[in-house]
Amino acid sequence: MLIRRPKSWEMPERRATPESLFLNRRALIKGAGAIAAASLVAGCDEMVTSARAQAGDDPSSGLYPFARNDRYQLDRSLTDEEVASTYNNFYEFGSHKRIYEAAQALPIRPWDIVIDGEVERVRTISFDDLIAQMPREERLYRHRCVEAWSMAVPWSGFPMRALVEFARPLGSAGYVRMETFHNPEIAPGQRQSWYPWPYVEGLTIAEATHDLAFLVTGVYGKPLKRQFGAPLRLALPWKYGFKSIKSIVRFTFTRERPVSFWTEIQGSEYGFWANVNPEVPHPRWSQATEEVLGTDERVPTLIYNGYGAEVASLYANIVGEELFR
Ligand SMILES: Nc1nc2c(c(=O)[nH]1)N[C@H]1C(S)=C(S)[C@@H](COP(=O)(O)O)O[C@H]1N2
Ligand SMILES: [Mo]
């Protein structure tokens, strides 16, 4: 695969951070606590230093690279690693794209993952025990952010279906709810208490067990860097990027549909389904085209981000709901 070099690693900053602009009433009331929380900065420099020192010796690094699964092909070049690693959405570390330095404060070991809710047996497993027993592979996936930029990256990980099988949900489980860590002492964004932390996302069981739903542990042939959502994040290439939750600490199997972080903030703009569709604009901008990170190009956006042949049948029987927002 040829990797096209970007003309410049400097990406235009998004002028607005649209997802952050609209706060509901409950969120504003919660904001009263923000000023008190903003004073929790002590100790941060030390943590950044020790996290950097650990970065080279990730205990899972010996597992990489994972064998590539050739079933997943791209229609475009891979995004340059440096570009993708320095242009991230991770609101826990700030509501802008240059969070990669702040994100180095995230401690990623020990990292325990709780599996609970409608399951045969509630349990906690360490990330390293989990990855050791999952079927590992590399896949080339497109990624389309709701803000109308896109990238194409080689994710390493395992099918989410393997996690669901491992979890052994009961027949009563209709959905899986996922949660990111909550640690305002190291994540400055989480001191902004008007956001409904922790970050939450959800899928139906049918979506979570679909071939394309991929739990990611690495990228570019190495363990995930913290800014990508180490040590465990999701990749759902047919949905807007905000569904692909980072730094997951909990999978809860539920009867009821979970309420996502962005849905709670602004449900009319960020819904549960959030499937990519160029013909359904965001209320404040078009979704017809996307800026390809690392290039000067804008290209047409594809229905289900180009994965319609695989996923459209998941939604064939859903009526009266907005599938594309
Ligand atoms: N916990 C958490 N997960 C998150 C986000 C976030 O702010 N916090 N941002 C989402 C959005 S909007 C996008 S586009 C992708 C960005 O992934 P990347 O930084 O690896 O490109 O992560 C998603 N997952
Ligand atoms: Mo996004």
What confidence score (pLDDT) does residue 57 get? 77
For the CA of 240, the closest atom of ligand 1 is 14
Distance 146 CA to ligand 2 centre (A): 5
DSSP 169: B
Closest CA to 175 of 202, 199, 210: 202
Q: What is the dihedral of CA 126, 129, 132, 138, to 10 degrees?
A: -10
CATH of 64-314, picked from 3.90.1150.10, 3.90.420.10, 3.40.50.1820, 3.40.50.2300, is 3.90.420.10
What confidence score (pLDDT) does residue 263 get? 98
pLDDT tens, position by position, for the chain (325 residues)? Answer: 233 333 333 233 333 333 433 344 334 444 444 434 443 444 444 444 444 444 457 999 999 999 999 999 999 999 999 999 999 999 999 999 999 999 999 999 999 999 999 999 999 999 999 999 999 999 999 999 999 999 999 999 999 999 999 999 999 999 999 999 999 999 999 999 999 999 999 999 999 999 999 999 999 999 999 999 999 999 999 999 999 999 999 999 999 999 999 999 999 999 999 999 999 999 999 999 999 999 999 999 999 999 999 999 999 999 999 999 9
Residues less than 5 Å from ion ligand 2, measured at CB: 89, 145, 241-242
Distance 240 CA to ligand 2 centre (A): 6
CA distance to 89, 102, 261, per residue, from 226 (Å): 12, 9, 20
Residue-range domain boundaries for the chain: 21-55, 64-314
Residue nearest ligand 1's atom 8 by CA? 90
Tell which one of 78, 89, 190, 270 to mutate to probe ligand 1, the residue whose CB is within 8 A of the most ligand atoms. 89
Pocket of ligand 1, beta carbon within 6 A: 88-92, 145, 180, 199, 228-229, 241-242, 244-247
Distance 120 CA to ligand 1 centre (A): 31
Q: Between vectors from CA 82 to CA 109 and to CA 126, what angle results, nearest 5°?
A: 15
Please check whether residue 113 is in contact with residue 250, taking contact to mean a CB–CB distance below 8 angstroms.
yes
Distance 89 CA to ligand 1 centre (A): 4
DSSP 190: G
CA distance to 73, 267, 277, per residue, from 304 (Å): 15, 20, 6
